[in-house]
Amino acid sequence: MITTYAALLEDWSQIFEPDCPIVIEERDVPLSLSDISPLLAKAPFALRAEGDVSTLASQLDELPASLVKDIFALAERFTDLTGKPSLRVRIEGITTNACKKVHADYTDIRLITTYAGPGTDYAPHGDEDCCLQRVPTGAVALFKGRLFGDGHEPCYHRSPPIEGSGTARLVLVIDTPVEG
C-alpha cells in the first residue's frame, strides 16, 4: 500500500520515501483576484520558461509580479529539493479537459499548483483505477514520475474535467528537463 504524505513545515523531502508518490503542501492561493482574472480571460494559453532559477524572471516578465514572485520561490525550493540547477516552468490558462486520462508522467518529480479552478485529481494509493482525490486549489503538490527510480511508484493523476463548464484553470507546472 502506498502512503500519501502531507507536507509538514514546508518539508518536501518526504517525496524521496519509496512509499510516497505524492507530497501535498496545503496553502491559500497567494495571488489576488485582480492578478488572476486577466490571466483567466486570456485562456487558453501556455507560457514556458527553462533554465536556472536566476533566468526565469526575465522569461516570465509578462506575468503579474505576484505570480512571478511565487513561481520564483517555488522554483528555488524545487531546485534545492532536486539538486538540479536547470528546470522547466509552464504556466497555463486551461479551458479544456487537458490531460483527461489518469496517467503518470515521464519525469522524475513534477510540481503542480493550481491558482484558479479545480486542482489536479490524483490516485492516492498508486492505483490508477481507484477513487480519485483532488489537490486543493492553491496547494503545492509534488508528483513522483515514472523516471524517479527503481523501487518508487509514480503518482497517477489527471486534469479535472472542466470542458463545457465555463470554468477556467490557472496552473503552474515545474519539473526538471529530461536528460538525454
Q: Measure Cα distances from 126 to 18, 98, 129, 130 in Å.
A: 12, 21, 9, 8
Helix (H, G, I), strand (E, B) or coil at 169: strand
Q: Using the predicted structure, report yes or no on whether residue 159 has a pLDDT greater than 80.
A: yes
pLDDT of residue 126: 64
Which cell numbers in the block locate residue 76?
A: 528555488
Residue 131 vs residue 126, higher pLDDT? 131
For residue 101, what pLDDT is reported?
87
Q: What is the mean pLDDT of residues 9-24?
A: 87
| Tens digits of residue pLDDT in 68-108 | 999 999 999 999 999 998 999 999 999 988 777 899 999 99
Model confidence over 18-28: pLDDT tens digits? Answer: 999 999 999 99
* Contact call for residues 135 and 25 (beta carbons, < 8 A): no
> For residue 36, how far is the Cα from the chain centroid?
17
The pLDDT of 141-168, averaged and rounded, is 92
44 prior amide bond cis, ω within 30: yes
